[in-house]
Amino acid sequence: MPGAGTDSTKEWIAGRGPVIVLVEPQLAENIGAVARAMGNFALAELRLVKPRDGWPNPGAFRTASGADRILEEAKLYETLEEAIADCTFVIAATARQHDQIKQVVGPEQAARDLLPHVEAGNKAALVFGRERNGLEVHEVGLANKILTMPVNPAFASLNLAQAVIVCAYEFYKLASGNALPFVAPDFSPPASKAKFEAFIATLVSELERHEFFRPPEKRENMIVNLRNIFLRIEPTEQDMQTLHGVVRTLAQGSKGPATGGILRGGEAELLRDLLNKQGASTASGTAPGKGLARLLRRNPTELERSLWKALTNDKRFAGQFKRNVPIGPHVTDFLAQHLRLILAIVPPEEDDDARTMREAQHGWLRARNYRIVEINSKEQELDRLLSQIEQAMKVTSPSRS
């Protein structure tokens, strides 16, 4: 699996590029970091002149982060002259002025100078010196040009791998035509003007319905401003569909129990009280009955919302209960049909008419072999309530008459 930008499933690119020469590098870890930088930008050939701690060195492999092949193929030399003997063009990197009559270039120009030699099939080299004091005067004298970085003059010394990666980046950018490895996926085509204007018409219509355009004389300018806001994002077909959905949802109001239904605050509790007083019953299977069940499902009280969440998530109850199921002329709060078990939300205080109606409903259900667990609508201890339900579920369901 690819991770952190490294993908072993893809082909290793080792394009033709300049040779990287390190003169007497002091730390194996720096050599490994240089190999990693080279691998990032498809440079393959590393030459080492008298590494201080010998070669090969395990420390280099630890910091190469997978660029082992560059280290394994690195060549060892005793002198810089030997390391660049087969090169036709050499650039020496230094942070110090050496008072030599040579052209001084930055990384971008160095890449432009190196590329023709590489494309012609010749060897060209970038030479980097010691971490402590860089290249000596005579070593710089072997190069065709001098490379230096546009850095803070008061703090010009770069880490060895940092200097290499800047140059490798500039060369690879030039050689690859600045091509990026991936671009944003085109999941949806740009929205047509017709679809865009249809969205604007819907938006304006809803805003007018809510008296957004005030004062009236500014209406046209406000519509132009709204249109320009959405034009600036250059919307796609998918964007238009999403925005249409947003406007419709805001216009129609919330539709389900995800946010507590269409009633807010204590309105759901008031609905339950009203139904309890008037009798939550209707003809089974009729449109009013189905409508009542939908209304109850869309407007749970706080207790019902918490209890339903527990019944669906707790392994003891998951999948066994349904909400607001009509049975005959009645709508049950929670029903486990296979157990013929009903959980009924009962208010702690109710008038005589409501109590008579509830007792009649429960009597009708019990006569048909349904068991009923009455739950106080003001119950605060959910764990105790769940234990009560669990015990009720363990009782053998009576057979149907």
Measured CA to CA, the distance from residue 93 to residue 147 in angstroms comes to: 5
Tens-place pLDDT, residues 299-336:
677 788 888 888 888 888 888 898 888 888 888 889 99
Q: 345 and 301 in contact (C-beta within 8 Å)?
A: yes
pLDDT(14) > 60: yes
Q: Which residue ranges make up each domain of the chain?
A: 19-175, 193-253, 261-394
Measured CA to CA, the distance from residue 149 to residue 96 in angstroms comes to: 10
Residue 366: which residues within 8 A CB-CB, separation 6 or more?
372
Q: How far is CA 184 from the centre of its chain?
A: 14
- Mean pLDDT value of segment 355-360: 85
DSSP conformation letters of 223-275? HHHHHHHHHHT--BHHHHHHHHHHHHHHHH---SGGGT-SS-TTHHHHHHHHH
- Mean pLDDT value of segment 376-387: 85
Confidence of residue 295 (pLDDT cuts 50, 70, 90): low
Predicted pLDDT of residue 73: 95
> What CATH code would you report for 261-394?
3.40.960.10
CA–CA distances in Å: residue 153 to residues 52, 109, 148, 388: 28, 20, 11, 78
CATH fold of 19-175:
Alpha/beta knot (3.40.1280)
The CB density around residue 43, as the number of other CB atoms within 10 Å, is 26
Residue 317: which residues within 8 A CB-CB, separation 6 or more?
310, 311, 386, 389, 390, 393
Tens-place pLDDT, residues 157-169:
899 999 999 999 9
More confident residue, 134 or 286: 134
Predicted pLDDT of residue 260: 44
Predicted pLDDT of residue 90: 98
Predicted pLDDT of residue 139: 96
| CA end-to-end span of the chain | 62
Does the CA dihedral 237-240-241-242 come out positive or negative?
A: positive
Q: Is 101 left (phi over 0), alpha (psi -120 to 50) or beta?
A: beta
Which pair of tokens denotes residue 179?
A: 């091509």
Predicted pLDDT of residue 292: 55
The percentage of the chain sitting over the pLDDT mark of 70, rounded to a whole number, equals 83
Residue 200: which residues within 8 A CB-CB, separation 6 or more?
223, 226, 227, 230
Measured CA to CA, the distance from residue 138 to residue 245 in angstroms comes to: 73
**Which of 192, 213, 195 is CA-nearest to residue 204?**
213
As a 3-state breakdown, the chain gives helix, strand, coil percent values, each rounded to 5, of 45, 15, 40
Which of 98-102, 138-142, 270-274, 279-283: highest mean pLDDT? 138-142
Predicted pLDDT of residue 2: 44
